[in-house]
Structure 1
Amino acid sequence: MRIIITVTNLKDWDFNIQGVEVITGKQYLTDSQYSKIKNARVFNLSRNYKYQSTGYYVSLLAAARKHKAVPSISTIQDMKSAAVIKILSTELEALIQKSLKDIKSDKFTLSVYFGKNLSKKYDALSGQLFNLFQSPFIRAHFSYANDKWFLQNIFPITAGDVPGEHKEFVEMATKKYFEAKRFSVPVRNTSGYDMAILWDPLEKTAPSSEKTLQKFIKAAAQKGIQAELITKDDYSELSSYDALFIRETTAVNHHTFRFAQRAKAEGLVVVDDPESIIKCSNKVYLAELLKMHQMDAPETIIIHKDNVNLAPDILGFPIILKQPDSAFSQGVSKAQNLAEYELKVASLLEKSDLIIGQQFLQTDFDWRVGVFNGEAIYACKYFMSKQHWQIVNWNKEGGGSYGKVETLPVEMAPQALIKMAEKLSKLIGDSLYGVDIKQKGQKFYVIEINDNPNIDTGIEDAILKDKLYLKMMDVFLERIQKSKQIIS
């Protein structure tokens, strides 16, 4: 990968870094040779990023040329937005308080150079700020009020803004950054596509095991895509990939959603995309969607403080209660009688203004149909956990207790089931979904749809085996090629 540093004036760059090309922003914009480069990363150290300035256009044209710009246009805009700064800094609140607890004044400025600060005690905070606001050199201002530290603002700085006493350290930090593996590897002899697979090695209920993730990586390689595992700490490296595949349980108020948002903003192919995460993670949205499109589902009521007494009369007992962002049997409970109902509803309404009440349908199993790119790719029967009404019993000691799973060829599953799953998926998008459906006699009822469904060795891949992973990588390859306007 070609590494390019753009500056307003060549005198602004006073560091000796091997393997990088330093040019002016004007050169990058006007010299035709740079528009022809196929694989480049552009570190934009312009003096000015204002709208329609040279610095702004460097990052904008880098995106058009399919180069990876640091900072990207989205990062530049994020730094200007007080609302974005407030939201993202909330994620770092505990780290901010811990890092700055010994500061005696009510103001503090932190200079971050490729994720590092001169003082090691601020390295954790510096690294996270660099992850959130990826720009070579940044300066963050903090204020102390009401017994707490707050991130007031953050903005990129140029090499010329680096104090003289910092320059030796900055040169060392910059060298270490560019010597990292991602920048030292030669240009690949494959089609040159990179995929990041986001996972959490410590997650106990991950949608795919590490063994399964290796199957995805192997399948990707067969399609000319170099895939590798990343974690939440690799946020700053996201722009160096062509695709992001999230294999960690997602939520809106979570780093997985932030990864999806940034990947989309950077022009990556992303599964699951942020819109799918928003829609699938909220059962209130799903209830309204099913109603609008007249899809069969158990009798459902959106419960709020003003109608809380109506649900028992309409649904009868037992009643299934769901918090809006429930997933895979968690956040779902059953009220057997009015006393249980009142207690559980009161608890749920403390966390959300709207919750879901649903008629209970007793079945031995739930269908789960996996849908990707609008097409069903697997069909499973998830049987209820022993002596329990859900497929996972989270009340068991030592973690959840699962029921057995039976996987069928998609063509052997009831076609009404497959059509229902594909129809609902298309109403959400074209990402990867798991549609949960109950069957009573010959009728099917949608229970919910989840983004980022389970795909694991010996279960969801029991029929197609390695063909399942290859089939999915075909979709990724087609989308990457389309995003780069390459005709295969």
Structure 2
Amino acid sequence: MSWVILTGRPGDLDQVATPHKIITSRDYLTHPALFRGQRPKIINLSNNYGYQSRGYYASLLASSRGHKVIPTVETMIDLSGRKLYENALPELEQALNRCRKDVGGSFPSTVTVFFGIGPSRAWDRFARLLFDWFRAPALEVSIADGEWATIRKIGFLPLNRMKPDEKARFLASLDTYTSRQWRDSRARTPARYTFATLIDPHEELPPSTVGSLKHWSRIAEKMGVEVEPITKKDLAKLANYDALFIRETTSISNHTYRFARRAQQEGMPVIDDPLSMIRCTNKVYLNELMLHNGVPVPPTVMITGPQDLEAAADSLGFPLVLKIPDSAFSRGVKKAANLAELQALAAKWLEDSDLLIAQKYLPTEFDWRIGVLGGEPLFSVQYLMAKKHWQIVNHERRGKPQEGGFRVFSLAETPPEVIDIAVRAARCIGDGLYGVDLKETPEGVHVIEVNDNPNLDHGCEDAGEKDEVWVRLTRWFIDRLERQGR
């Protein structure tokens, strides 16, 4: 069973209006054994969410029974008075006014939003943000129109106050909200958990292909887990899931960080977690962290301005590698062959970043990539340099970026020193999933960087350890959910 709908009275919602089970909040409260051994997602459509009302207790007890529910009691309390939600109004009013042109120039006195869906697409930006702030099935917003429209009030809209056209739109929105992707109609093992996987279908170099994630979903299904893709538009739906796996390139300045933060706030196991994003994103921090913990890294010099360039050149020699602290997939990483090139490149990059780092150039035919999950090695692969290039990805080539090939290894075939240093580096970051890049040189093994969002594709990173990679990934999430008693 996936969805259960609670109503205030038996006749509030016709049983044929939705394929989901409908019961009253009274029945839900008085029959705690109804869904024992199951993990339903509860949509609470009680007519009254007031403190200590039946609707309030239904959401409160849903939480204690381990059931996902909207709205939560926190949302009920937030919307019980303007003072409690006024911190959300500036952002909401900004989104509202951005909709003005699409809406038609003037706003109605009230607008209803059902599951983050407005009365038309013109309201999309505002409706999604409203649902992000207040995850409730039906909300009514009172608007004071003017040169700059303001929000008078945000409140719940119960079923018994909906007009016929609103109720029809509500049911359509309910169907949209509860719809599923990647669902196999030939259900096998009943899902104990549902994991959200954040993807960008249009990303040029995603950390996992859709095909790889479908492969994972088939393995996870046998372990009682349903895997479902979500996109950046689905932040408001995140609380309906048990865990989050982010499979698009992460950045603390875009929606991926917001998803990670929201998952953490909901108490959900998440890869990548916000702290890992912060730590791995910045190469200055990584270098200092590795040095502090005795993990070998290439000789490095911090660049704070043009005055540091000659000292870096004297210390590291040429060629050397210059890096923007916040960069990914070989972007923001360039090789300078001489002082003139270094000065020109640094002058350009220092316009956008107060710090750069310069590192000794360590030429190799490949980089080791060791996957580490929960502080233990997960997979091993060698990424070969792109053709006629010194990095594994050539972004300087016209058109699509060119990637080098790869060679797969089992963990048993990988040099123990490489695995040991990779695990030590990853443990400095946290307990999640990391891809540690290392160079193996005559002078020793050096960590180049630790990635919080490593590639994980079927037929590449999993080729050495086979499906055990995906089994362990699934188990990582399940173990944390079980520790929480969920």
Structure 2 residue 205 is matched with structure 1 residue 198: no
| Amino acid across the alignment from 2:395 | W
Structure 2 residue 403 is matched with structure 1 residue 402: yes
Task: Provide TM-score, normalisation by structure 1.
Answer: 0.81
Q: 1:171 aligns with which of 151, 167, 172?
A: 167
Task: Provide TM-score, normalisation by structure 2.
Answer: 0.82
* Structure 1 residue 404 displacement after superposition: 2.0
Where 1:197 maps in the other structure, the secondary structure is strand
| Amino acid across the alignment from 2:248 | E
- Residue equivalent to 2:112: 111
Distance 1:306 1:472, change over 3 A: same
* Structure 1 residue 39 displacement after superposition: 2.4
CA distance, structure 1, for counterparts of residue 241 and residue 281 of structure 2: 26
| Amino acid across the alignment from 1:70 | I
* Structure 1 residue 206 displacement after superposition: 0.8
- 1:229-244 to structure 2, matched below 5 A, reads 229-244=229-244
Where 2:163 maps in the other structure, the secondary structure is helix
CA distance, structure 1, for counterparts of residue 106 and residue 331 of structure 2: 45
- Residue equivalent to 2:223: 223
- Residue equivalent to 1:474: 475
Distance 1:352 1:85, change over 3 A: farther
CA distance, structure 1, for counterparts of residue 34 and residue 371 of structure 2: 43
- Residue equivalent to 2:354: 353
Contact 2:395–2:402 under 8 Å retained in 1 = yes
Contact 1:132–1:235 under 8 Å retained in 2 = no
- Residue equivalent to 1:277: 277
- Residue equivalent to 1:448: 449
CA distance, structure 2, for counterparts of residue 85 and residue 299 of structure 1: 50
CA distance, structure 2, for counterparts of residue 89 and residue 68 of structure 1: 26
Contact 2:92–2:129 under 8 Å retained in 1 = no
CA distance, structure 2, for counterparts of residue 142 and residue 340 of structure 1: 57
Contact 1:142–1:151 under 8 Å retained in 2 = yes
Contact 2:295–2:424 under 8 Å retained in 1 = no
Distance 1:156 1:286, change over 3 A: farther
- Residue equivalent to 2:255: 255
Which deviates more from structure 2 when the two are superposed, residues 57-66 or residues 453-462?
57-66
CA distance, structure 1, for counterparts of residue 379 and residue 445 of structure 2: 17
Which deviates more from structure 2 when the two are superposed, residues 451-460 or residues 312-321?
312-321
Contact 1:264–1:270 under 8 Å retained in 2 = yes
Distance 1:120 1:388, change over 3 A: closer
Structure 2 residue 204 is matched with structure 1 residue 208: no
Which deviates more from structure 2 when the two are superposed, residues 433-442 or residues 267-276?
267-276
* Structure 1 residue 216 displacement after superposition: 0.5
- 1:298-447 to structure 2, matched below 5 A, reads 298-305=298-305, 308-309=308-309, 310-441=311-442, 443-447=444-448
- Residue equivalent to 2:25: 23
- 1:66-105 to structure 2, matched below 5 A, reads 66-72=66-72, 97=98, 99-100=100-101, 104=105
Where 1:216 maps in the other structure, the secondary structure is helix
Which deviates more from structure 2 when the two are superposed, residues 349-358 or residues 69-78?
69-78
| Amino acid across the alignment from 2:117 | K
CA distance, structure 2, for counterparts of residue 269 and residue 426 of structure 1: 18
Which deviates more from structure 2 when the two are superposed, residues 125-134 or residues 434-443?
125-134
Contact 1:46–1:54 under 8 Å retained in 2 = no
Structure 2 residue 155 is matched with structure 1 residue 159: no
Where 2:202 maps in the other structure, the secondary structure is coil
CA distance, structure 2, for counterparts of residue 347 and residue 319 of structure 1: 17
What is the percentage of aligned positions where both structures have the same residue?
36
CA distance, structure 1, for counterparts of residue 150 and residue 339 of structure 2: 47
- Residue equivalent to 2:466: 465
**Number of aligned residue pairs:** 471
Contact 1:281–1:324 under 8 Å retained in 2 = yes
Q: Deviations along 1:194-253, whole A, 9 cap, x unmatched?
A: 222222222120111222112101110121212232322333332222222222211112
> Unmatched 5+ residue regions in structure 2?
none
Distance 1:141 1:367, change over 3 A: farther
Distance 1:461 1:42, change over 3 A: closer
Where 1:196 maps in the other structure, the secondary structure is strand
Q: Deviations along 1:55-113, whole A, 9 cap, x unmatched?
A: 77765554343211223467679985767776x769x96x9635546665699864312
* Structure 1 residue 190 displacement after superposition: 2.2
Contact 1:35–1:65 under 8 Å retained in 2 = no
**RMSD between aligned alpha carbons?**
3.9
| Amino acid across the alignment from 1:304 | T
